[in-house]
């Protein structure tokens, strides 16, 4: 069985990745090495910088992921700054920013970029998107991050109201992982 290290401290991301990879002969192993997240315009730039940093210290096949929530009425904010915004103002802060906007103004897109790196190779990028809207209140107790306020198109539930397998059918991360699995 091939072993790929997922460079993350996020147990929710590991759970989602292991769920997706359960159908193929690849073991996903969590490795929390930490790496700086640069401020950039694109998720690919953030992931690419992380790959270079990890590559200097780790000589095994690995993946890492950067994701962001892009809200239309806020001109894509928080976007590449999603992690920082989540850790400073959280879901409550985003809901306050959208207070007074009706459903058609609450459109958003979750984006995910996985970078895959083999020793002495070049990084390969796999992207996924999920369109939907921001709810008016937090709902559900599954998942992590912005899951309690994001409702994907074709659903009436937030990601936090879904079990991992159901979320993986809709989510940006599930879609980028599908492309990674197809690559293997």
pLDDT tens digit sequence for 96-145: 999 999 888 999 999 999 999 999 889 999 999 999 999 999 999 998 99
pLDDT of residue 103: 84
List the catalytic residue out of 25, 41, 45, 66. 66
Is 104 annotated in the active site?
Answer: no
pLDDT of residue 29: 96
Interval 42-62: pLDDT, tens: 999 999 999 999 998 999 999
Map residue 2 onto helix, strand or coil: strand
Asked which of 34-48, 68-82, 95-109 is least confident by mean pLDDT, the reply is 34-48
pLDDT of residue 77: 96
Domain ranges of the chain: 2-183
Contact 58, 32 (CB under 8 A): no
- Alpha-carbon distance 135 to 127, whole Å? 24
2-183 — its CATH code?
3.90.950.10
The answer to whether residue 175 scores a pLDDT higher than 90 is yes
- Alpha-carbon distance 182 to 184, whole Å? 5
94-105 core/surface letters (b: 16 or more CB in 10 A; e: else): bbebbeebeeee
The answer to whether residue 36 scores a pLDDT higher than 90 is no
């Amino acid at each position: 069985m091939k072993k790929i290290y997922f460079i993350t401290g996020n147990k929710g991301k590991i759970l989602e990745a292991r769920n997706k990879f359960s159908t193929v002969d690849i073991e996903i192993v969590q490795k929390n090495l930490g790496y700086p997240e640069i401020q950039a315009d694109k998720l690919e730039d953030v992931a690419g910088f992380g790959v270079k940093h990890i590559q200097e210290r780790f000589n095994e096949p690995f993946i890492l992921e950067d994701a962001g929530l892009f809200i239309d009425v806020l001109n894509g904010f928080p976007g590449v700054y999603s992690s920082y915004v989540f850790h400073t103002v959280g879901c409550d802060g985003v809901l306050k920013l959208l207070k007074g906007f009706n459903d058609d103004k609450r459109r958003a897109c979750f984006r995910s970029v996985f970078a895959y790196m083999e020793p002495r190779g070049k990084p390969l990028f796999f992207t996924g998107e999920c369109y939907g809207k921001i709810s008016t209140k937090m709902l559900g107790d599954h998942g992590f991050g912005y899951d309690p306020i994001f409702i994907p198109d074709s659903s009436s539930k937030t990601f936090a109201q879904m079990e991992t397998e159901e979320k993986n059918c809709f989510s940006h991360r599930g879609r980028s992982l599908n492309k990674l699995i197809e690559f293997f």
